[in-house]
Amino acid sequence: MAILDILNYPDPRLHTVAKPVKEVDASLRRLIDDMAETMYAAPGIGLAATQVNHHIQLLIIDISETKDQLQVFINPRILEKDGEQVYEEGCLSVPGIYDSVTRAEKVVVEAMNEKGETFKLEAHGLLSVCIQHEMDHLLGKVFVEYLSPLKRTRIKNKMLKQQRNRPM
């Protein structure tokens, strides 16, 4: 396994639209393993392939306390959305920034797991937020884009300043 580099906002590559996964094979499972190691090391509760510069429809989530309940979503589709909730979100691509975002309270998602099996899941609360946040990444969208233009500009400048002080 390997820890992958995470793209930091405002990297333009975060705005790439991900393509569907064609085949769930060994190389995809290897990427899933590396993404899981990267997410657990951060630590984070969700990571989209976009964030590690792989522009395919793949995301992973683990919201368990014990960090042993990895959920893999390949080619996810939202079938239903309902209600509203406000959650204080963060993102591994925007370290140190947290702000409230309004999203659906419930989502019903269809996706494939790491074995290539299709499953359907109804999610509420944090899991629902996390799925919507990570699926946004696959569309090239970062949560700060829901904030006001003023906040976004401040966040952008703060990130660029941090990146100057800590070069790649």
Q: Which residues bind Co ion (CB under 5 A)?
A: 91
Q: How far is the CB of 46 from Co ion (least distance, A)?
A: 7
Q: Is 76 in the site for ligand QAP (CB under 6 A)?
A: no
Span of 7-15, 17-25, 94-102, 109-117 interacting with ligand QAP by CB under 6 A? 94-102
Burial class of 124 by CB neighbour count within 10 A (0 to 12, 13 to 18, 19+): middle
Q: Which of 80, 88, 134, 145 is catalytic?
A: 134
Residue 134 appears among annotated catalytic residues: yes
Is the alpha carbon torsion for 157, 162, 10, 151 positive or negative? Answer: negative
Nearer to Co ion, 24 or 49 (CB): 49
Give the interface segment with ligand QAP, choosing from 15-23, 71-79, 84-92, 150-158 (CB under 6 A).
Answer: 84-92
CA gap 137, 15 in Å, rounded = 8
Residue 146 parent element (H or E): none
Residue 132 Rama label (left phi>0; alpha psi -120 to 50; beta): alpha
**Total of chain residues touching ligand QAP, rule CB under 6 A:** 15
Query: Which one of Co ion, ligand QAP, none interacts with residue 95, CB within 5 to 8 A by kind?
Result: ligand QAP
Nearer Cβ to ligand QAP (67/115): 67
Exposure of 33 by Cβ count < 10 A (0-12 exposed, 13-18 middle, 19+ buried)?
Answer: middle
d(CA 89, CA 154): 17
Question: Which residues of this chain interact with ligand QAP, rule CB under 6 A?
Answer: 42, 44-46, 87, 89-92, 95-97, 129-130, 133
